[in-house]
Structure 1
Amino acid sequence: MVSHAHRGTTSSALTRLNVNAARLLGIPPRGYAHLLGLAPEHLDDDLCRPPALTSIRIAELATVHAPWTDVSLVMTQQSGIGSLGVWDYLITSAPTPLEGIRDASTYLGTVVDTGTDTLRIDEDGEHVTVSHLNEADLAYEAACAVRACALGVYRHRLSGAAQRRLVPVRVTLAAEAPRRHHALTELYGTRAIEFEAPVSSLTFLASDLNTPTPHAQPGLSAVLRRHAEQTLATAIPLHDWLDLFRTALASAHTEAEAEAEAAPTLSAVARRMALSTRTLQRRLDEHGTTWSSELETLRRAHITRLLRSTGLSIDSIAARSGYADARALRRAVRRWYGTTPAALRRTGHPDAK
């Protein structure tokens, strides 16, 4: 149900939760303020969708500061019912918890980036398994914290719908086994947790999720689904500062190529962004990158595209990309890919000579 325009973004509510969790974990605002790149009114506006990368970076900082198990618990504790907007009420107001989590799966895009995270419901006779799919590596602690938190939120919302404490009969986590997992025991209400699983999931008795929700109101779920669709339709995807810089750099590169210039200059891009060159370099440093690194990344993508989609000679591509000659271009391609421009070309443009 989420449009591609929302890919790469999350709800502002989720970003606020991550900021609050970071604060509670003792991370000072100066440690992540530059990652937000947003005006305060944007972070407080539920129509705005900040970049998903913002929340990921804050989670990374948190897992440096504390074990991922503790981070997941703190993140979940910050997400009381209503904190994630209409998505919460889709679960807690449905006729049954099972119907609610199905709606939550359909409209997960109101909260997270569905390009990276998915909620799946599997029913198998006496059991219902609620899975959170994210393909990030098991050793990536920030992703482990996010997956564990997602399961904690699902359990909390389902318990809220049933108005009683639901305990899963089985928990699996796509994470390496931590030294201690008392935080996870608190999160899921059970010690029956399996680690290094292919998917993070909670398995409940079907009878627990099929019990009528005590406070369900006829027709309310349909209203909430329409509201969720409207939320997605009117949301405003925001881009972080680094996205804006890369857009400016790509535009300057296109103009430089059209005017037969070697490459865009730092000062030219700074002017486009109404910044001094010193401020631009400082902002790049704050985002963990440099002018030379960004320029080389752009050149690499540009050269790869020309090799794979055009029949231009190596000399011509070198001239259009700011390299002194074909030999310099060959050295760069060897450094990037460990192969030659001709071999790289054959993989994407078999008819080129």
Structure 2
Amino acid sequence: MTNPLKARRFTSALVPYVLTYVRMHGKDPAALQKKYLRGTAAPEVSLPELGAILADAAKLLGDELFGLHAAIGMSRGGYGLLEFGLRSAPTGRVAMEQLATFGALINPLVRWSLEVDGDEVALHHRAPRKGGVGRHGNYFTVARILQIAREMMGDDVKPLRAWFAHAERSCPAELQTFLGTSNVGFGRASNGIVFSAKTLERVPVGSDAALNRALELHGRAVLERCGAEIDDAWARARGAVLELLPRGDATLSKVARKLHVTPRTLQRRLEEHGASFADLLAEVRRTHAERLLTRSDEPIATVASKVGYADAATFVRAFRTWTGTTPGQFRTRALA
């Protein structure tokens, strides 16, 4: 199924920042603006174009870690009211929850989700294309989240793990130093970062309950005005699939029944988000399998069962299709 979200264009706050960043570092961004923005000031781009702009900016500056450096260099408030709202949250955990809810205000074509597993809280950023938003876009996304978290809760904030959607043989030393963890993965189903629940209990420096509430109401109003669904069909269906997977019941009909809609209605709502049920099922299986492989030493057959496969051989074939490697090789590389 062709994903319409890949071709859709959206207004990106990142594009004008990139053009300014390039100019501030001694290069003329006019060629970038002419190539991708049709010579206008309107920063409307598709996801592939956004990734390409960042890659071309990196090449122009000769900066292999452009996405990381751009994230560190962005001034506070670069993402406007949403960012100020996050910074005024009562706790780091609430700020992450609000980012997952209102992330469409930054980019309506990607999906954010917050997933809790025991004392760990993972923030996922999923673009509807292989490789995410490209190397520099992925670096920027994860690094900017961590940079803001440190500005809010202290320079000693360190993630437990981080990962990126693009493939890379090893983590650049400077990126690993910035992240503060050696547990960094590549070629994953999403970009993401994991914090301990205790870390996210911290009260941000700029916490302001009244301001946070006002900005949350504003965010909801903007999303509704733009026709975006806060109650995301993808997110609800994803939760149902996760619950049904271990029982081998994650079929379209059973997920639809759990959500109290018909299979046809569920499929239509997923298509509105640029996906099919098959896309959703594969994404959930892959993400869950990657988590199990990196967080446990369970046999491959057990992992296969937990992600809804009747036998290990079928799971191995599917995993190789998703990642280009076997579950065993993936685990070895991730835990090295």
TM-score band, normalised by the shorter chain? 0.5 to 0.7
Aligned partners of 1:180 and 1:105: how far apart in 2?
26
Aligned partners of 2:61 and 2:177: how far apart in 1?
17
Instruction: Look up the match of 1:299.
Output: none
2:172 is equivalent to residue 181 of structure 1: yes
Q: 1:214 to 1:71 in 2, by over 3 A?
A: closer
Could you tell me how far 1:223 is from its partner in structure 2?
0.4
Instruction: Look up the match of 1:194.
Output: 185
Matches of residues 274-285 of structure 1 in structure 2 within 5 Å? none
Q: 1:20 to 1:189 in 2, by over 3 A?
A: farther
Equivalent of 2:57 in 62, 73, 87: 62
Matches of residues 255-266 of structure 1 in structure 2 within 5 Å? none
Q: CA offsets per residue over residues 28-71 of structure 1, 9 Å max, x none?
A: 3232121223644x56xxxxxx2345534412313544688512
2:147 is equivalent to residue 156 of structure 1: yes
Instruction: Look up the match of 2:97.
Output: 102
Could you tell me how far 1:169 is from its partner in structure 2?
1.2
Instruction: Look up the match of 1:37.
Output: 38
Q: CA offsets per residue over residues 219-240 of structure 1, 9 Å max, x none?
A: 22220112224555678xxxxx
Gaps of 5+ in 2: 227-336
8 A Cα contact 2:10 2:45, kept in partner: yes
Q: CA offsets per residue over residues 57-103 of structure 1, 9 Å max, x none?
A: 41231354468851211221232220110121222110001101111
Q: 1:86 to 1:9 in 2, by over 3 A?
A: farther
Aligned partners of 1:199 and 1:103: how far apart in 2?
19
Q: 1:20 to 1:190 in 2, by over 3 A?
A: farther
State the SS of the aligned residue for 2:162. strand
Q: CA offsets per residue over residues 231-285 of structure 1, 9 Å max, x none?
A: 55678xxxxxxxxxxxxxxxxxxxxxxxxxxxxxxxxxxxxxxxxxxxxxxxxxx
Q: 1:185 to 1:104 in 2, by over 3 A?
A: same
Aligned partners of 1:178 and 1:80: how far apart in 2?
31
Q: 1:174 to 1:13 in 2, by over 3 A?
A: closer
Instruction: Look up the match of 1:278.
Output: none
State the SS of the aligned residue for 2:65. helix
Could you tell me how far 1:183 is from its partner in structure 2?
3.4
Amino acid at match of 1:195: F
Could you tell me how far 1:131 is from its partner in structure 2?
1.4
Equivalent of 2:213 in 214, 222, 233: 222
Gaps of 5+ in 1: 44-49, 236-353
State the SS of the aligned residue for 1:120. strand
State the SS of the aligned residue for 2:145. helix
8 A Cα contact 1:91 1:161, kept in partner: no
Aligned partners of 2:8 and 2:151: how far apart in 1?
30
Aligned partners of 2:174 and 2:24: how far apart in 1?
15
| TM-score in terms of structure 1 length | 0.54
Instruction: Look up the match of 2:16.
Output: 16
Matches of residues 228-267 of structure 1 in structure 2 within 5 Å? 228-232=219-223
8 A Cα contact 1:91 1:158, kept in partner: no
Instruction: Look up the match of 1:120.
Output: 113
Amino acid at match of 2:78: S
Aligned partners of 1:135 and 1:69: how far apart in 2?
25
Equivalent of 1:51 in 45, 48, 63: 45
Aligned partners of 2:177 and 2:11: how far apart in 1?
26
Instruction: Look up the match of 2:125.
Output: 132
Higher Rg of the two aligned structures: 1
Matches of residues 291-330 of structure 1 in structure 2 within 5 Å? none
Amino acid at match of 1:134: A
Aligned partners of 1:179 and 1:171: how far apart in 2?
13
Q: 1:12 to 1:148 in 2, by over 3 A?
A: closer
2:73 is equivalent to residue 73 of structure 1: no
Q: 1:68 to 1:174 in 2, by over 3 A?
A: farther
State the SS of the aligned residue for 2:198. helix
Q: 1:52 to 1:150 in 2, by over 3 A?
A: same
Could you tell me how far 1:18 is from its partner in structure 2?
2.1
Instruction: Look up the match of 2:278.
Output: none
Aligned partners of 2:22 and 2:169: how far apart in 1?
21
Instruction: Look up the match of 2:197.
Output: 206
